[in-house]
């Protein structure tokens, strides 16, 4: 009997002690729980704010890059329009005059990425033989219009400066014989405006440091001829001032002044992002990740933008870098 009452007393004492302990620590646990909740809420708000700030920074960098590309391409258009002006102001532009014009532009120094500035003439089959003979009489004994074959219309690169060994590979080339160039040349002719070609392999490529390329064409019409409609422009076209571009050189030149840029991008020719339309992609950067890691890297931010150029669009896929 005594043991029974003794057990009940001990149980009561334990319960009382537990209750006292709970009451004494209740405030501490409550304060700790509230602090934890407040910390979590503050962390969530800060994290969201940082994410928004990072997204705004990424968007700003995208806009800056787009502006740099567009401004540089507009500059190239103005250079080629200047070439049109050269021909419009003269009855005949000699090879030396064209050389002087391009040399004074300091293309290689001031406009990295541009492969050169050229003049291509349009020819009928009846004009081709006399044209070839005339150029050969200038001292270019091996000159010919290529590729060989009979066609309804021909073009031929007559001037191309700087006249380097690489550019000499294109001397005489009939750009009108290749589909992508042909389409761009027709667009420029009919619109009376600059047109960009689709992605091409430039004739200048020799297998070393192979890069994708494209070309830019403003049309050249006969001096004083009416060119108010498409039919007139097709009739009075005599040739093109043009520039070939190697895409890696072009983009690297545009971004030359931007160090540790937090965005990278890939450029696709046209409106798709198919592998065959890939025009430019950045080289792997060993300063941040190994080759295998970079292939698996998942950017935190990405954005797709389109730049509309005369006759051609570029689709640009931007993504944040490991540095970002």
Please write the tens of the pLDDT for every residue from 208-262.
788 999 999 999 999 999 999 999 999 999 999 999 999 999 998 888 756 567 7
Confidence at residue 294, expressed as pLDDT on a 0 to 100 scale: 53
Q: Quick one: what percent of the chain has pLDDT higher than 70?
A: 81
Q: What is the pLDDT of residue 126?
A: 96
Is the pLDDT reported for residue 293 higher than 60?
Answer: no
Of 15-24, 193-202, 264-273, least confident by mean pLDDT is 15-24
Give the Å distances, CA to CA, from 270 to 167, 278, 316.
27, 9, 10
pLDDT of 274 higher than 60: yes
Report the range of poorest mean pLDDT among 156-165, 216-225, 255-264, 287-296.
287-296
The predicted pLDDT at position 260 comes to 62
**Arithmetic mean of pLDDT, 90-113:** 90
Across the range 267-274, mean pLDDT stands at 93
CATH architecture of 69-251: 2-Layer Sandwich (3.30)
Question: Tens digits of per-residue pLDDT, 120-152?
Answer: 999 999 999 999 999 999 999 999 999 999 999
Asked if 123 contacts 131 with a C-beta cutoff of 8 angstroms, the reply is yes
How is the chain split into domains, by residue range? 69-251
298: exposed, middle or buried (Cβ count in 10 Å: 0-12, 13-18, 19+): exposed
Overall pTM surpassing 0.85 (yes/no) = no
**Is residue 198 scored above 60 in pLDDT?**
yes
Q: Grade residue 12 by pLDDT with cuts at 50, 70 and 90.
A: low
Q: What's the token pair of residue 296?
A: 């698996």
Backbone angles phi, psi at 77, to 5 degrees: -60, -40
Measured in whole angstroms, the distance separating CA 36 from the mean position of its chain's CA atoms is 49
Strand partners, 314: 269, 307
For the chain, the residue count is 324
Higher pLDDT, 64 or 240: 240
Looking at residue 298, its pLDDT comes to: 78
Residue-wise DSSP of 157-213? EEEEES--HHHHTTTTB-GGGSHHHHHHHHHHHHHTS-EE--SB--TT--SSS---E
CA angle 47, 48, 49 (to 5 degrees): 90
State yes or no: pLDDT of 285 exceeds 60.
no
Half-sphere CA count of 245, side-chain side, radius 13 A: 28
d(CA 277, CA 198): 9
**What's the token pair of residue 305?**
């933008």
Mean pLDDT of 273-287: 81
- Judge contact between 201 and 169, C-beta under 8 A: no
Rounded to the nearest integer, the mean pLDDT of the chain is: 86
Tell me the pLDDT band of 109, cut-offs 50, 70 and 90.
confident
């Amino acid at each position: 009997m005594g043991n029974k009452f003794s057990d009940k007393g001990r149980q009561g004492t334990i319960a009382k002690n537990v209750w006292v302990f709970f009451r004494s620590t209740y405030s501490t646990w409550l304060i700790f729980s509230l602090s934890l909740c407040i910390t979590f809420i503050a962390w969530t708000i800060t994290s969201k704010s940082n994410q928004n700030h990072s997204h705004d920074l990424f968007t700003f960098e995208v806009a800056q890059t787009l502006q740099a590309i567009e401004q540089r391409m507009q500059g190239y258009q103005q250079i080629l329009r200047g070439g049109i002006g050269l021909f419009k102001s003269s009855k005949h532009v000699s090879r030396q005059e064209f050389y002087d014009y391009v040399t004074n532009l300091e293309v290689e120094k001031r406009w990295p990425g541009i492969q050169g500035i050229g003049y291509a003439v349009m020819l009928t089959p009846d004009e081709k033989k006399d044209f070839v003979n005339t150029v050969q009489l200038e001292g270019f004994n091996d000159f010919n219009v290529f590729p060989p074959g009979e066609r309804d219309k021909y073009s031929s690169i007559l001037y191309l400066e700087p006249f380097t060994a690489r550019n000499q590979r294109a001397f005489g080339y009939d750009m009108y014989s290749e589909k992508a160039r042909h389409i761009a040349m027709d667009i420029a002719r009919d619109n009376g405006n600059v047109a960009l070609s689709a992605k091409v392999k430039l004739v200048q490529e020799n297998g070393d440091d192979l890069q994708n390329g494209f070309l830019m064409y403003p049309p050249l019409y006969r001096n004083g001829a009416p060119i108010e409609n498409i039919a007139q422009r097709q009739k009075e076209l005599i040739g093109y001032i043009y520039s070939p571009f190697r895409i890696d050189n072009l983009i690297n030149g545009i971004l030359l002044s931007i160090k540790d840029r937090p965005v990278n991008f890939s450029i696709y020719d046209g409106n798709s992002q198919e592998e065959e339309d890939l025009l430019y992609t950045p080289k792997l950067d060993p300063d941040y990740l190994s080759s295998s890691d970079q292939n698996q890297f998942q950017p935190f931010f990405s954005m797709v933008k389109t730049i509309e150029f005369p006759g051609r669009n570029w689709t640009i896929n931007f993504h944040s870098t490991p540095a970002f």
